[in-house]
Amino acid sequence: MANYYSTRPTITSIYDDVGETGVVSRGGFTDDVRPRITGKANPGAVIYLYDNNRLIYQIQAGCDGTFDVTLGYDLPQGAYSFRLSSQGQYSEPYAINISSVNVEPPKILSLYDNVGETGNVLHGDKTDDRRPLIKGSGTPGATVTLLDNGTVIGQTRVDAKGNWSLQPSRDLPLGEHHLTVQSRGMTSSGFKVEVVPVKTIKPEILEIFDRVDETGLLKTGDDTDDRRPLLKGVGTPGAVVWLMDNGRGITYTVVDKQGNWTLQPSNDLALGKHNLAVYINGVVSEPVELNVVIREGSEPVIVAIHDNVNEVGVVELGKDTDDRRPIVSGTALPHTTIWLLDSGCILGSARSDAQGNRSIKPDIELRYGLNKLWVSNGDSVSEIYPINIVPMQGQAPEIHAVYDDVGYHAGNVANGSKTDDARPTLSGKGIPGETVTLLANGIQMANTLVDAHGNWTMEPYRDLDPGNYSLVIDSNGKKSAPWKIDVVAENRILNLYDDVGMEGTIGNNGVTDDTRPKASGMGQPGSLVKLIVGGTVLGSAIVNEDGLWQIEPVRDLPVGSHKLMVVSDGFYSQPFYVEIVAAMEDAPEILLLEDRIRNIDYMGETISFMIVVRSLPEKAA
């Protein structure tokens, strides 16, 4: 049935964007074999496009009801009548004619070699470029397909000026190739080319340049204090060239189109002799020998340590600073990697500039107290520069984290969020040796000492009742910024109740033949708790004012093991496990119970005992 409240779909225009572009009038002619069709319908509606009552496209209208589609294939020349259908209504037909006027046969005009000796390749010539750039002409807007000996190896569209270019989609194998292009049923003249191997150029090291201290060109057998000298040379264009040090590859690059390459070791060369060579496609260059040495006066030096916190300035040897990441500056050989250390632990690194200067900021905060700093280049070390890290005067303690370790999903509690942990763990920073006190809404709840590294951790000495709390750390009157939390009652399954057969309470990891055991537990009064079994909600209840709830599953639990949980406001309980077993068809029953009491005299004492006689059904017995 038609939807009489919908908008009738309409084709507003058919647009020709090939050659002489513009709107194609109804009944008009176009040389665009992929015309663009625009129109309107109900917003978001699905629209079907027909050509002479044959469905050719499906479109969806935009939020404003408009659509714009370009056909994804070429239309043969001829007459067309386009029509739309949407929500049971049809548009008026829009007729046009595809004309072959101004159709240009496709041509291959040139082939460009971009490997080794680059340039245009003539018909019948040779090339070592296995993916040459091929250019040509054709009908604007038409699709051209490139073939090699009859096999398709590429496709593109002719631009508005009648030009096209493309590269083969895969490498051309060595040998002769007959290239053609096809478009609109027409095939170009053939273009013959022979693909030959790339001419291998033996790799060669032409220059080695020392850029440290006494800079200049090096020759084989020279000493150098540049641990990353710059090497230049030649090789096969486009090939990967490896720099080898004593037969081991240490870095690589790609030879450029002109056959040149430049390399520099990615890591410092060790002190001593090095046999350097380059390697390309199994061919190794002549080696160059260098001896890496340390020049006199090249040891790294700490010149100054800069405090950038509060009272900024240079920290003298052995003096105090409250900047736990001061900037360490000094000198070393130019272009050398320098490491900053404290008692043997690496704190950071930097590379010296062309003048040998460098600055390092520790990656981590220095510990409170004495720190013995020194720098090394891997071969020599500086003198020790001792400084003493002290707390900032009047520095207030800080809360860095509040951790919830209750329930199924434990983790950090963000400031201003909820937790079901009545005794969350707090941690933060303070002045070493000072006592920090936890205040919850102004009431003292715990205290502890800040350790030598300025860290503290504690939790309330008693449970926090459900409600909102502003947690603050106090240290001699200096207070941290508040950390606000909302404590909610922990969701917990206490037990299950079996009211089938032998009734009774079932504990965690228990067994029951009741396929709908009643779950009982505790939670936040007034909150909605949901019972989840195997990821499926099977019941819910509102927690009463005493913080208790009871839920019976809405369907039977199958025989087997089950994990039960409850969730409320995103807080999950710990899992409660139960195994459902099949109920006995004929449970034994007591038909006769007879007590017989006997007294026996044993070693001067009288012992009484009872004999119980039971009669069971024949099947159970």
Tens digit of pLDDT for each residue in 355-393?
888 899 999 988 888 899 999 988 788 889 999 888 776
Task: Please check whether residue 3 lies inside any domain of the structure.
Answer: no
Q: For residues 206 and 233, is the Cβ–Cβ distance under 8 A?
A: yes
Task: Please check whether residue 165 lies inside any domain of the structure.
Answer: yes
Residues in the chain: 621
Domain-terminating residue out of 37, 70, 98: 98
Q: What is the pLDDT of residues 198-250, one digit of tens each?
A: 777 889 999 999 887 667 899 899 988 888 899 999 998 888 999 999 989 99
**pLDDT, mean over the chain:** 86
Residues 112 and 186 in one domain: yes
Query: Interior CA angle at 256 toward 255 and 257, to 5°?
Result: 125
Task: Please check whether residue 2 lies inside any domain of the structure.
Answer: no
Measured CA distances, 236 to 259, 397, 515 (Å): 6, 65, 78
Residues 180 and 252 in one domain: no
In this structure, what CATH number is given to the domain that contains residue 564?
Answer: 2.60.40.10
What are the tokens at 607?
Answer: 């012992």
Task: Please check whether residue 1 lies inside any domain of the structure.
Answer: no
Domain-terminating residue out of 292, 327, 346: 292
Counted domains in the chain = 7
Alpha-carbon distance 566 to 533, whole Å?
9
Residues 526 and 556 in one domain: yes
Domain-terminating residue out of 487, 517, 534: 487
Residues 124 and 184 in one domain: yes
Alpha-carbon distance 162 to 141, whole Å?
8
Q: Which domain holds residue 409?
A: 398-487
Task: Please check whether residue 419 lies inside any domain of the structure.
Answer: yes
In this structure, what CATH number is given to the domain that contains residue 66?
Answer: 2.60.40
Task: Please check whether residue 5 lies inside any domain of the structure.
Answer: no
Residues 190 and 113 in one domain: yes
Alpha-carbon distance 327 to 83, whole Å?
75
Instruction: Provide the pairing of β-strand 576-580 with 560-568.
Output: antiparallel
Residues 367 and 435 in one domain: no
Residues 482 and 496 in one domain: no
Residues 323 and 366 in one domain: yes
Q: What is the pLDDT of residues 323-360, one digit of tens each?
A: 889 999 998 888 888 999 997 789 999 998 888 888 99
Residues 404 and 466 in one domain: yes
Per-residue pLDDT band for 470 (boundaries 50, 70, 90) equals very high
Residues 402 and 481 in one domain: yes
Alpha-carbon distance 521 to 495, whole Å?
7
Residues 176 and 155 in one domain: yes
Task: Please check whether residue 262 lies inside any domain of the structure.
Answer: yes
Task: Please check whether residue 521 lies inside any domain of the structure.
Answer: yes
Residues 235 and 158 in one domain: no
Reply yes or no on whether the pLDDT at 433 is more than 90. no
